[in-house]
Amino acid sequence: MKTMCISMMGLLMITTLAFGQAKDSKSLDVILKNYLTALKSDNAGLRNSALYQLVQLKAKYPDADLSACEKCIAQMSSKDKNTRVRINAGLALLGLQDAQLPTKVKANDEQEPTKFFARLHQEI
C-alpha cells in the first residue's frame, strides 16, 4: 500500500512537470486523468495530496481548464469518508473557482498540504 501511494505521488509530480513543459490540450488531458485517478483512490493521503497539487497547478496556470476535476472535488467535499479530505476538498474547490485566492495564498513545493489548507482557510 505504501509503495502504491509513493508510486502515485511520483506519477502526479511527473504529470505536473510535464504540463509545465508542454501546455497543449493532450498533455492536460493525461494530467487530469491521472489526478482524477488519484482523487478516486482509497488512500486519503493521496486524495489530499492530489487536491493540494491541483490548487498548485491552477495557481501556476490560471487559464487551465480543470472543470473535470472540479466536479469530482465538489462530490468529495460532500461525500468523502475522511473528514479532513472532505474539508480540504471544499477549500480546494474555492481555490480553483476564485481567481484571486491562489495569488493571496501561494502554494510552494516545500509546503505540506495541511499547512497550505490551513492558510487557505484563514484567508477565506
Each residue's pLDDT tens digit, 32-74: 899 999 999 999 999 999 998 898 888 888 888 888 899 999 9
Q: Are 69 and 35 in contact, with CB atoms under 8 Å apart?
A: yes
Whether the per-residue pLDDT at 116 is higher than 90: the answer is no
Q: List CB contacts of 120: < 8 A, sequence separation 6 or more.
A: 55, 91, 94, 95, 101, 105
Q: Are 51 and 62 in contact, with CB atoms under 8 Å apart?
A: no
